[in-house]
Structure 1
Amino acid sequence: MLRNIFAQITPHLRRRNGFLQPQPLPLIQNHLFESIYVNKTAEEWLKQLPEDQMKRVRLIQNEIALKMTEMKKTPALDRLTIADYEEMLEMSTSRRQKYYHYLFVTQTADTRSDMKKKIRDLILEEKKANIADETPKHIDYGLGKNTLLLKVTNKSVITWRNRKLHRALLLNEPPLVFDCGFQDVMSKYEIRDAARQLKYAFSENRLDRRPFVMHLCNMNKDSKLWHELAKEMLNIEKLPIKVHSEDITEVFPSKNLVYLSPDAEDVIQEFNEDNTYVVGGLVDKATRTPVTLAKAKRLNIRSMRLPLDKHIKFHSHKTLTLDQMILIMLELKRSQDWKKALQRVPKRKIFG
């Protein structure tokens, strides 16, 4: 049975120097070409590049082709996306060589994952076919037969969790706003990290019994942050999350806004459901400038900070990720107890 299965799978792979080199799969090739934040294929994007960048692209393609002839681990040219080219155009030669290996490993992992999924599906189909040949009984338990329990799939669980967010919107639960207008002060690696933290924040919010209505303000859908977020959260436009290209004061009344900034003077004493709390959607690992406080002053809205000094002694700097912020605010909304809320801060950051 497995020999027949591998005969169906292996045409999509070729062995080179002892390694499986991914071939473009016809069903997903167009998907791999597409950019998520620009409606262009990689080929169309390359045609519109200026001549100096086009020369660098040709250099990159020649490097990959040369490595292929030398039987080295290199990515497939026809599976490179616009984001891959953008990354490589900004890299030095030595760093680009490492990136080729990373792309090769990623593409190979994707191909192996597709292969394993096809093997599982074919084995399951063959098992069901063998079961169908047997004489049916009135009550018979097992694969493809009767069951005492209703199967709960991952899709059902995700749908149920999303419905909690829809219910929060219908019941006018308090909003929590992430201000995504700081992309100009973040590096591309910090932008990627911010997208990952926003994904975790959405996930943690969805798990809570009474989630916030999550808003992303200053989110331009042509931006790098949106592109990274769309890679992290597939079908993000269908998810129960509010995305606005406008600034926070254009979406919410200024009198209700409270900007949570670590540099603010005032301290939050308790959670007020009449307020709309805003979290700066940025990762600032290098400079740690008070950009969120400056934004609050520029918009003439209130700014407050968490009482971290009162309850926690940090090892070094007092930095919290976006998902940790939403966990703290969810617990504060539920219990109105700062000690419980700040237990959400990871132990590795606390002294003693």
Structure 2
Amino acid sequence: MSALISLFFRFFRRFKIDSQKACTSNGGERVFFNDLTVSKYKALIKSEEDRRLVESVLIDYEKVLQMTGEVTSTLTENQMVKAMSCSTFKSRKRFFRLQFEKEIKELSNERRKELRALRLNKNYSANTLQPSVGIKFDEKTGTPVYGLWKNSLFIRLPNKTLNASFKFKFFNSTFFGQNLVFDLSYEHLMKEHEYKCICLELNQVYHINKHLKNPYNLWFCNYKCGSSMHSLIKFLHPNIDESFINFHEDSYLKFFPKQNLVYLTPDASTPLMTYDHDAVYIVGAFADTVYQKGVSLSKAEKDGIKLARLPINEYCPLYGTKNVLTVPQMMLILKTAKETSSDWREAFKYIPKRRIKKEEINTRNYETSEEGDDCENSDLCNKASV
């Protein structure tokens, strides 16, 4: 097995050298080798023994050149001194090979730099649809010309600048943003694949909040450090500690007054008809596929806080008896209701159409068409009055 591995690495090394040869050669021509003589190294010859060593090195150099060609184009005095210190032909062959690989690498790097310089300095014409460097001016008017492959009003923002803007928004949200709490106390009721799904959804919540104009101040309460969810969230988002999310092992009752807390659960009887910008809404981080009826309801009643449900039955009836949504859908619905002043029909557009009853979809389409007809009639009336 070891022999096969060594053979593989020898083949791979040989293939790498051949590819580097191809990069440095010009049209398949062989690299030029200088004629080496003993007189070139007369500064190193101080005795007859040194002369014999130089001759033996040059003979071995010629042998390796004829056998494999893996020698440098010339031998410097420093290389000759090191080759003279090698006592056997095998050691000198290995030394020539190492120097050859080093020279090939340097030549290939120089070749790449030359090609890169040619690409950068080449003047591209407009017919090739390639961008040119510098500001373009109109020959007649002398003003800058804007358009495709010409001057542009826009600049590219690097990721560092974008991340700085996101952090600035998050920093403002910690002081002025509305608080939104996610209750992570249901891990013991979920299996492994279920809390993995919740961790992925919480990661989506963070990215949704990042792109909002006025992001929420997110709170992850009942967060157990060292748990499976903790390790998975850290794996999905390694820099989660720098994301301005409030992670706390304590309950939300420790940080907010009870009169401001509203627990959103589908088991509540009171619909949330008006979005309150001063309330602190709580969303249970519970997988919708394994939702157990009454769990979040009993927890909220035990804590003694207000209960509410989204007005799905009033605006958007769904198939089945469970009006359970995913955590990212709850986030999108709440942010839309916040931005549109409790326009729940607009907010519920994030619910998949396959879950909405067909009668409701037809009603929506009919109302949309009526609004379009009214707009057309009003336009016609305006035109007639003109």
- Indicate the TM-score class for this superposition, using the shorter chain for normalisation: 0.5 to 0.7
Letter in 2 for 1:165: F
Structure having the higher Rg:
2
Q: Higher RCO, 1 or 2 (CA under 8 Å, sep at least 6)?
A: 1
Q: Which residue of the partner structure matches residue 67 of structure 2?
A: none
**Post-superposition shift, 1:289?**
2.6
Distance (whole Å) between structure 1 residues aligned to residue 117 and residue 264 of structure 2: 61
Q: Cα–Cα, structure 1 residues 208 and 7, in superposed 2: closer, same or farther, change >3 Å?
A: farther
Match of 2:286 in 1: 282
Match of 2:177 in 1: 173
Where does residue 52 of structure 2 map in the other structure? none
Q: How does 1:197-208 map to 2 (within 5 A)?
A: 197-208=201-212
- Secondary structure at 2:275 match in 1: coil
> 2:229 & 2:111 partners in 1: Cα distance?
44
- Secondary structure at the counterpart of residue 308 of structure 2: strand
- Residues of 2 paired with 1:271 and 1:250: CA distance? 24
Letter in 2 for 1:333: K
Residue in 1 that maps onto 2:350: 344
Q: What amino acid sits opposite 2:249 in the alignment?
A: S
Q: How far is 1:228 from its partner?
A: 1.4
Matched residue SS, 1:263? coil
The amino acid of 1:131's aligned partner reads: R
Question: Is residue 131 of structure 1 aligned with residue 116 of structure 2?
Answer: yes
What does 1:207-222 correspond to in 2, within 5 Å? 207-222=211-226
**What count of residue pairs does the alignment treat as equivalent?**
233
How much has 1:205 moved relative to structure 2?
1.5
**Distance of 1:261 and 1:151 partners within structure 2:** 44
> TM-score if structure 1 supplies the norm length?
0.59
Counterpart position of 1:327: 332
Q: Distance in 2 between matches of 1:343 and 1:185?
A: 30
Conserved? CA contact 2:265–2:296, under 8 Å = yes
CA distance in 1, matches of 2:205, 2:131: 38
Q: Could you say if the C-alpha distance between residues 143 and 232 of structure 1 is closer, same or farther in structure 2, counting changes exceeding 3 Å?
A: farther
Specify the alignment match of 1:185 in structure 2.
189
Query: Distance in 2 between the 1:191 and 1:327 partners?
Result: 21
Residue 132 to residue 207, structure 1, CA distance change in 2 (3 Å): same
Matched residue type, 1:237: D
* Contact 2:288–2:324 under 8 Å retained in 1: no
Inter-partner Cα distance in structure 1 for 2:111 and 2:168: 36
CA distance in 2, matches of 1:193, 1:215: 19
SS at match of 1:200: helix
Structure 1 unaligned blocks of 5 or more: 9-122
Task: Return the alpha-carbon distance in structure 2 between the equivalents of residues 175 and 126 of structure 1.
Answer: 59
Matches within 5 A, 1:137-156: 150-156=155-161
Partner of residue 318, structure 1 = 323
Cα deviation per residue 1:167-199 (whole Å; 9 max; x = unaligned)? Answer: 2223x1111100111111111111000001111
The answer on whether the counterparts of 2:270 and 2:309 sit within 8 Å (CA) in structure 1 is: yes
Alignment partners' CA distance in 1, 2:110 and 2:289: 51
Q: Distance in 2 between matches of 1:155 and 1:254?
A: 40
Give 1:233's aligned amino acid.
H
In structure 2, distance between residues paired with 1:263 and 1:187: 22
CA offsets per residue over residues 66-109 of structure 1, 9 Å max, x none?
A: xxxxxxxxxxxxxxxxxxxxxxxxxxxxxxxxxxxxxxxxxxxx
Counterpart of 1:272, as a letter, is D
**Whole-angstrom distance in 1 between the partners of 2:271 and 2:218:** 23
**1:259 corresponding residue in structure 2:** 263
Instruction: Show the counterpart of 1:27.
Output: none
How far does the alpha carbon of each residue in 1:37-58 deviate from its partner, in whole angstroms, 9 at most, with x for none? xxxxxxxxxxxxxxxxxxxxxx
Cα gap change, 1:153 to 1:349, in 2 (>3 Å): farther
Task: Provide closer, same or farther for how the CA distance between residues 132 and 227 of structure 1 changes in structure 2, counting only shifts above 3 A.
Answer: same
How many Å separate the matches in 1 of 2:155 and 2:280? 41
Percent identity over the alignment? 27
1:313–1:350 Cα contact (<8 Å) kept = yes
- Determine if contact 2:171/2:244 at 8 Å carries over to the other structure: yes
Residues 127 and 166 of structure 1: is their aligned pair in 2 closer, same or farther, counting only changes over 3 Å? Answer: farther
Change in CA separation of 1:220 and 1:337 when aligned onto 2, cut-off 3 Å: same
CA distance in 2: counterparts of 1:143 and 1:303, whole angstroms: 60
Q: CA deviation at 1:314?
A: 1.4
Distance 1:231 1:131 in 2: 39
2:290 is paired with a residue whose SS is coil
Q: Residue 267 of structure 1: SS of its match in structure 2? A: coil
Is residue 159 from structure 1 mapped to residue 144 from structure 2 by the alignment?
Answer: no
Instruction: Measure the CA separation in 1 of the matches of 2:110 and 2:213.
Output: 39
Mind listing any 5+ residue stretches in structure 2 that lack a counterpart? Answer: 1-11, 18-107, 123-129, 136-150, 359-386
What is the letter of the counterpart of residue 228 of structure 2?
A: K
Partner of 1:298: 302
Output the amino acid matched with 2:350: R
- Which amino acid in 1 is paired with 2:258? S
* Counterpart residue type for residue 271 of structure 1: Y
Amino acid across the alignment from 1:150:
I
Displacement, 1:303?
Answer: 0.9
Shift in Å, 1:319: 1.7
Deviation of 1:240 after TM superposition, in Å, equals 2.0
RMSD: 3.4
Q: Are residues 1:243 and 2:228 paired?
A: no
TM-score by length of 2: 0.54
Between the aligned partners of 2:229 and 2:293, the Cα distance in structure 1 is 20
Q: CA contact under 8 A between 2:288 and 2:325: conserved in structure 1?
A: no
